[in-house]
Structure 1
């Protein structure tokens, strides 16, 4: 009979929210072990939980109080007395847990303590709290209970214990300080980077402006230098043209004035021989113009010996100066026996100057006495054909 009496007494304590400071009475019978429970669907309970999660704690208190009181109706009491079972105990304890937390959030710790004691009394009926499927939104419930009701210890809730096991540990003071320092360092670095970027941009703008000014000045200096050079060139050109005009005018005037003719050059045999050797050397090296100039100098000089004139005629023939060679042959006069090579050179010179008949005659006198080389044969044909064309 004592156990039967204790159970309704606990139920009454829950109903009236008694024992604000004293621990709940214990039944003499040993309560059964906690078993897994589930919270049945209750729209008002769910609304109260949602209000709590949304931070509407006053509305949550109203809804959760209504749920807890409704679960302790006279019908529930009669059913419990007759059967010894409280079917809605899980819903009741869930409502009490959230109601305690809502009171704590509102700073009403006395009301929160009353709800914790009601939870302890409900545990006397049947141990249910340990297996309630509580979630992270009431993870602080047990620490709040230890703080505001230290003399009424609660069993550990397995769901909250699992949450604590997987939740990251709170950072230590050193860790927080390190994190704050890292954040400050990052901010400092960001600001320094931004300052450097702004400085670089400013430098780039200033550098571009300086370069632009430098380019402008260089362009102006270059333009001025070019204009000065053009002016100097124009002045020099005008001066040169003036000098040329004056020189041409002077030369024309000098040419129009009669002057004494230049006296012919007189060369000694030694000088003539030296000049002849020089001319022959130039001709052998292929410097025909230079050789011809010396040959003509010897031809125009007075007192030149017959041997020198013969060599000059030969040299002019070899430099293909056939008209000048004929002048040398004219100064040389009649050719004698033993000078058949000169007759051949004279025949070729006559042919090249268009005197084909004379060329044929000279060639006829020379052919019996000179070797018939390829050059002689070629000119023989040309001279004979030229003579025939002249005869026609």
Structure 2
């Protein structure tokens, strides 16, 4: 998807640039009129590539029914032509589409197929983006630890390879940003049951962020997402935050990436508020309003760890306010969110049979 070179298809190259810049709605609009599957094999390959990118954009816009429809169209065409690479490409993002439509076994089967294929590939762009797809979608469906492992593996491989001629210039920044996001969200998920490991993960986020050019290499909205998670990690390890600038809320965009960034900055504000043991009534009211808004926003996203954390922070603010009824109501919602998150953890480490990939067999073996 993000490969370049003299023979790159110009339409696919344009769509790839748009994806790197997270212009998902524009990708959907640009691919609206792909038409029926072409007759010539070369034209079919380009059609599949554009439809695959359209499917990825749908996943990022939480439009899972449409993502799955595009995924199925690519799979039918790829299987008919024996195009294994196209099949693996689209299945990587089809994991989330299937899982969030309630087809858990199918989602796990797709994940296993993608990982098995990636393990068999030679190091290079196709393997990189198969693993990126698996890391991204496992993070979406709540498998935070597996997501962190996969994206860490990808970053290490790409860093060692040092092949800018085959990797889009914006991709390394995206990988660093995604690594920080996944590591930070895994730490959030572990705070209550393994605080020591969570603290080490937060410190690793700060070490990642300190890498020269890491922040600067991720432009636009990926950089904003990166900075929000970096700030959250600083606050979580009780870093001196006098120089920390938290942007004002601009109102959530329908795009999940902007919604996630908004949530993380809001959680930063609530954590700083809770640090101060002396709060004025106006500050408490503002924190309560923020907590309520964040839980409503998080409920629109599939990211379970953020949903649970928003309710946890809102509960802490409600307890400080002393409103027993509100506290009881938020506590109940928090417990439900934690239960859902723990269910995803059990799913991640549950025992399944028939896995082909080494990664999934290792998970099965504990």
The reply to whether TM is greater than 0.5 is: no
Of structures 1 and 2, the larger Rg is shown by 1
Considering Cα pairs closer than 8 Å and 6+ residues apart, tell me whether 1 or 2 has the greater RCO.
2
TM-score for the superposition, normalised by structure 1: 0.29
Query: What TM-score does the superposition give when structure 2 sets the normalisation length?
Result: 0.30
